[in-house]
Amino acid sequence: MCGILGIASRNEQVFAELYDGLLMLQHRGQDASGIVTYGDGFFRERKANGLVKDVFGAKDAETLQGRVGMGHVRYPTAGSLSAAEAQPFFVNAPYGIYLVHNGNITNTEEQRAKVTGKYSRHLRTTSDSEILLNVLADKVADAIKVNGNADPIRNIFAGVKMTMERVQGAYSVICLIAGVGMLAFRDPHGIRPLSVAQREAEGEGNDYAFASEDVAFGINGFEKLRDLKPGEAILVDLDGNKHEFQAVEGKLTPCIFEYVYLARPDSLLDGISVYKTQIRMGQTLAKQIEASGLDIDAIIPVPDSARPVALEVSNITGIRYREALVKNRYVGRTFIMPGQEERQKSVRRKLNAIPREMQDRNILLIDDSIVRGNTIKKIVQMCREAGAKKVYIASASPPVKYPNVYGIDMPTKHELVANGRSIEEIREELGADELFYQNLEDLIWAAKGGNPDIEAFDCSCFDGEYVTGSVSEDYLNTLETSTRVTKKIKDMPDAGASWNGATLAT
Range with the poorest average pLDDT among 60-74, 108-122, 339-353:
339-353
How does DSSP assign 158-192, residue by residue? HHHHHHHHH--EEEEEEEEETTTEEEEEE-TT--S
User: Catalytic pick from 2, 255, 383, 459?
Assistant: 2
* Confidence at 418, pLDDT banded by 50, 70, 90: very high
Strands 434-437, 390-395: pairing kind: parallel
Distance CA(464)–CA(408), nearest Å, equals: 14
Instruction: Yes or no: say if 221 and 199 are a contact pair by the CB < 8 Å rule.
Output: yes
Q: What percent of the chain has pLDDT over 90?
A: 76
- Tell me the torsion sign for CA atoms 160, 472, 3, 283: positive
Residues comprising the chain, all counted: 506
CA-wise closest residue to 22 among 104, 105, 79, 87? 87
Distance CA(78)–CA(85), nearest Å, equals: 10
pLDDT at 334 over 60: no
Burial (CB count <10 Å: 0-12, 13-18, 19+), residue 143: buried
**What pLDDT sits at residue 493?**
41
Average pLDDT over residues 92-102: 96
* Confidence at 330, pLDDT banded by 50, 70, 90: confident
Q: What is the amino acid identity at position 10?
A: R
- What is the C-alpha end-to-end distance of the chain, expressed in Å? 21
H/E segment holding residue 285: helix 274-292
Q: How many other C-beta atoms can be found within 10 angstroms of the C-beta atom of residue 191?
A: 28
Distance CA(192)–CA(133), nearest Å, equals: 17
Count Cα atoms within 13 angstroms, Cβ side, for 350. Answer: 19
Range with the poorest average pLDDT among 14-28, 261-275, 332-346, 428-442:
332-346
More confident residue, 479 or 375: 375
pLDDT at 80 over 80: no
Distance CA(261)–CA(289), nearest Å, equals: 21
Average pLDDT over residues 205-227: 97
Instruction: Yes or no: say if 176 and 69 are a contact pair by the CB < 8 Å rule.
Output: yes
Average pLDDT over residues 456-477: 89
**What pLDDT sits at residue 504?**
26
Range with the poorest average pLDDT among 6-20, 38-52, 112-126, 141-155:
112-126
Average pLDDT over residues 152-157: 98
Return the axis-axis angle of helices 440-448 and 274-292, rounded to nearest 10°. Answer: 150
The pTM of this model reads 0.90
Average pLDDT over residues 442-454: 96
Based on the residue annotation, tell me whether 175 is a catalytic residue of this protein: no
* Confidence at 204, pLDDT banded by 50, 70, 90: confident
**What pLDDT sits at residue 28?**
94
Q: What is the amino acid identity at position 418?
A: A
pLDDT at 46 over 50: yes
How does DSSP assign 219-240, residue by residue? TTT-EEEEEPPTTEEEEEETTS
What does the H/E/C string look like for 361-424?
CEEEEEECCCCCCHHHHHHHHHHHHCCCCEEEEEECCCCCCCCCCCCCCCCCHHHCCCCCCCHH
* Edge-to-edge strands, sheet with 223-227: 42-49, 32-39, 68-74, 3-8, 206-211, 195-200, 223-227
